[in-house]
Amino acid sequence: MESRSQTVIVIAHRLSTIRNADTIAYIGNGKVLEHGTHDELISKPHGLYKRLFDSSKMKSTLTTLNASKTDSKGSAEEEEEVNWESEIEKEQAEAFDAARARGLASPDAFFIMIGSIGAVLAGGVFPSWGILFSETIDLLFRRVEVCPDADGNIIDGFDSCQEYWTSVADEIQDGSFRVAIYWLCLVIGCVIGNVLVFWGFGHASERLSKRVRDSAFNAIVRQEVAFFDKRSIGRITSELQDDAARIQAFSGEPIRQLIVALSSIITGVTISFIFMWQFALLAIGCVPVMGFATSIQMKTMLGEDIGNVNAADELNSPGGIVVETLLNIRTVSALCLENARYENYKRALLNAEPNHNFDAFMGGVTAGLSMFIQQWVNALQLWFGGYLLFTFPETYGFKDFLIANFAILFSLFGLGAAFQDAADTAEVKKSIGRIFYLLDRESKIDPLSTTGKKLD
């Protein structure tokens, strides 16, 4: 402005920046109420600009006095600051509402119902595997007697040994065709059940996630600037990415887990009681132990025993650093901070898994513990099954024991598969609290609001 070589329009927040301007315009209610130089406007006894100028000088004086008083009281009061982080976390915890979280899935009741039907089929597949596995073993474990016997007689009244052998071979062949058809039916049922599960619950989950993300984005753009001074945009977006996905743990996910687990366990126990009820009683007593061991094994196989990485640790998380860097890429480039941000990202990756050796060791220990428990339980069940076969030879056969055993065993696989993706309840509650806090927060300056005074 001092060069006076061009026209400059300034919207001033500090009156000192426009004191030497050629023309100062005071605008109120969309109209120019006063205009002139600084001296001209100050000379008006009751002018609006003069009143604003005097008010600013008064505030400046009060600020100076308050600063002097603060300095005289020592450093104790200087360190007195509001802990916004704890205040926000407290408000987020209070915003958690489980019933409201479950209610978010109500528009997707149709998809959840379809997924539930598929979950019943998918859960019943596991004990069905046990039945067909037993049929396969019984088919292959077919004893062929020596022909002729020690007394020189033909087995089972056949005319010749060749006729006996041909009869046994035909029985095995017919049985193999029958078992193959059963396996084909089971494969079809497995495909249909899992397709319905993933289609139903997948649609419900994605629709819920989209609604939550849309609502959260709408809430974010409505917030005033001061909201982002308390929490960085990088952290907000990083948390929102995980929070929107976790909210399904209070809607469709528990339904899927419960139906698959109940369908698998109830079907397996019922089949076991039908074929060998004494063995079923022992197996029921072993269900909690085997369920725990199977769940550990499934998590180890799928790499879920390592634990959740704390990806929401301020801006020091890998995701937070990436988001913050990309959002401020011009500043990073202007200040030549590319290498520094890269090094920060490398350190964040290392800090995300600081105890990888210990985690690997514990993974091996848990896998070994799972196998140890399962093998000892299997040994107990095999011994007891053999005892029943020798004690009640007229009541139970080898096939009965196989079906009773494998129906229970394979149903536990369904129990482990149902809960393999179970989320951490504490983290889910925090995520839901953050979402509801954001959705319910009323912005002090809402840029999308249609209320208020409108200018002509």
Q: Looking at the domain assignment, is residue 346 inside a domain?
A: no
337, pLDDT greater than 70: yes
Q: Which residue's entry shows tokens 């909210």?
A: 247
What type of residue is 255?
Answer: I
Q: Looking at the domain assignment, is residue 298 inside a domain?
A: yes
105 shares its domain with 179: yes
227 shares its domain with 296: yes
357 shares its domain with 249: yes
Torsion of CA 290, 295, 300, 305, to 10 degrees: -130
Q: Looking at the domain assignment, is residue 453 inside a domain?
A: no
Candidate ranges 15-24, 239-248, 415-424, 441-450; pick with highest mean pLDDT = 15-24
378 shares its domain with 418: yes
106 shares its domain with 26: no
Please state, rounded to an integer, the average pLDDT across all residues of the chain: 79
pLDDT for 192 equals 93
101 shares its domain with 196: yes
Report the first-to-last Cα separation within the chain, whole angstroms.
32
140 shares its domain with 221: yes
pTM summary value: 0.58
Distance CA 434, CA 94 (A): 10
CA distances (Å), 80 to each of 68, 75, 156, 343, 413, in order? 16, 9, 99, 34, 57
pLDDT for 138 equals 84
- Of 48, 64, 80, which one is at a domain's C-terminal end? 64
Q: Describe the crossing of helices 161-222 and 425-440 by its angle, rounded to 10 degrees.
A: 30
pLDDT for 307 equals 46
Q: Looking at the domain assignment, is residue 348 inside a domain?
A: no
Give the 3-state DSSP-derived string for 130-189, with helices as H, strands as E and coil as C. HHHHHHHHHHHCCCCCCCCCCCCCCHHHCCCHHHHHHHHHHHHHHHHHHHHHHHHHHHHH
- Of 64, 80, 98, which one is at a domain's C-terminal end? 64
Burial 385-394 (b: 16+ CB within 10 A, else e): beebbeeeee
pLDDT for 148 equals 78
- Structural domain boundaries enclosing 384: 89-309+353-440
199, pLDDT greater than 70: yes
Report residue 292 as tokens: 């725990």
The pLDDT confidence band at residue 435, using thresholds 50, 70 and 90, is: confident
Candidate ranges 142-156, 160-174, 246-260, 312-326; pick with highest mean pLDDT = 160-174
170 shares its domain with 288: yes
Q: What residues are paired with 28 via a beta bridge?
A: 31
49 shares its domain with 122: no
Q: pLDDT, tens digit, for every residue of 22-49?
A: 888 888 777 888 888 888 888 888 888 8
218 shares its domain with 280: yes
What type of residue is 86?
Answer: S
Q: pLDDT, tens digit, for every residue of 290-300?
A: 767 767 766 65
The CATH number of the domain holding residue 151 is 1.20.1560.10
151 shares its domain with 220: yes
| Of 423, 411, 404, nearest in space to 123 by CA | 411
64, pLDDT greater than 50: no
60 shares its domain with 191: no
Q: Is 456 helix (H, G, I), strand (E, B) or coil?
A: coil
Report residue 280 as tokens: 């079923």
The upper half-sphere exposure of residue 42, i.e. CA atoms within 13 Å in the direction of its Cβ, equals 9
Distance CA 443, CA 437 (A): 12
Based on the structure, what is the number of domains in the chain? 2
Q: Looking at the domain assignment, is residue 258 inside a domain?
A: yes
pLDDT for 387 equals 92
Q: What residues are paired with 202 via a beta bridge?
A: none
Q: Looking at the domain assignment, is residue 273 inside a domain?
A: yes
Distance CA 447, CA 29 (A): 18
The per-type count for the chain, helices as H runs and strands as E runs, is: 17, 2
Mean pLDDT of 414-420: 70
Helix or strand (DSSP H, E) at 36:
strand 31-36
Return the number of other C-beta atoms located less than 10 Å from residue 158's C-beta: 14
Query: C-alpha 102: how far from its chain's center?
Result: 15
Q: Looking at the domain assignment, is residue 69 inside a domain?
A: no
Distance CA 416, CA 4 (A): 78
pLDDT for 191 equals 92
Q: Looking at the domain assignment, is residue 57 inside a domain?
A: yes
